[in-house]
Amino acid sequence: MEERVFGRSGHQASVVGLGTWQLGADWGDVDDKEALAVLEAAVESGVTFFDTADVYGDGRSEQTIATFLRTRPELDVFVATKMGRRMDQIPENYVLDNFRAWNDRSRRNLGVDRLDLVQLHCPPTPVYSSDEVFDALDTLVAEERIAAYGVSVESCAEALTAIARPNVASVQIILNPFRMKPLLDVLPAAEKAGVAIIARVPLASGLLSGKYTKDTVFAENDHRTYNRHGESFDQGETFSGVDYETGVEAAVEFAALAPEGFTPAQLALRWIIQLPGVTTVIPGARTPEQARANAAAAALPALSDETLTAIRDLYDRRVKEQVEGRW
């Protein structure tokens, strides 16, 4: 699989990575055996970048990755984790002592002395403007607790503030055919600054797979049930902030645009991979088959100008008004 330089870190990352939120919790139940099989299928398909967080399953996702990598010591997988969502979301909690404690826990969970990349996990907006926060992150690098750091953001404004920081290696942002605002300023700014872009929620929580209908029922412990209107965290993390019924209707139109040989999910992933400035896209997978199909998008032909124009038109007609002014 194609790999790209991961911003200022010097690492390489596969253009299709693996998001592992679903291996911890919040997407219904995934047992340990199936989770390990997903990781195996991903690496066998060329994936060399895993994204996790200390809050996914309260550490279960990190621990599952560690268990898998212990069985495959020959692999060179770049593991990015995130910190900050296990405490109250107030700027005062984003201090060096807490960073060290969170970092120590993730290093134990992942079984490493130094983390490849740690990302602030969608912190309160004032955090991005705090010199003290980024000085503390620099201290973690100096202490060799982390090799590099980045941020995971909710809004384009937060992304642009982070990109301006001299030592930020990466910005993770929601980016998919139902969330196009980052194309305007964020991707060009990141590319100019040499900051990696991690595209998350690439399938709009599965909407863009074309599998769901208005009658689909998700598990009670699935965020697509309990956070549909932002009840537990930012609404943009669930279905990219698109109203579910609107999203289902738009997804039907999107699926019809898939060229021969593409699934709707692969169309969405291929669209992201082609964007200038994107380093890696991190779809989740609940089964090995999903992991392999997602990875296969990296080898599919580039989308035609006609297809790209049709995707843009769909966004402008059906989705833009709901999301572009909010994030």
Contact of 210 with 251, CB cutoff 8 Å: yes
Instruction: Identify the pLDDT of residue 115.
Output: 98
- Secondary structure E strands in the chain: 3-5, 12-14, 18-19, 49-51, 78-83, 117-121, 149-152, 168-174, 196-200, 280-281
pTM of the predicted model, to two decimals? Answer: 0.96
Q: What angle do CA 82, 21, 73 make, to 5 degrees?
A: 75
Structure confidence at residue 10 as a pLDDT band (50, 70, 90): confident
Structure confidence at residue 26 as a pLDDT band (50, 70, 90): low
Strand partners, 79: 50
- Statement: residue 90 has pLDDT above 60: yes
Instruction: Give 301: exposed, middle or buried? Use CB within 10 Å, 0-12, 13-18, 19+.
Output: exposed
Longest distance between any two alpha carbons in the chain, whole Å? 53
Domain annotation for the chain: domains and CATH numbers? 3-323 (3.20.20.100)
Instruction: Identify the pLDDT of residue 25.
Output: 63
Residue-wise pLDDT tens digits, 30-83: 788 999 999 999 999 999 999 999 999 999 999 999 999 999 999 999 999 999
Query: How far is residue 188's CA from residue 185's CA, in Å, rounded to a whole number?
Result: 6
Contact of 219 with 305, CB cutoff 8 Å: no
Residue-wise pLDDT tens digits, 220-253: 888 899 999 899 998 988 999 999 999 999 999 9
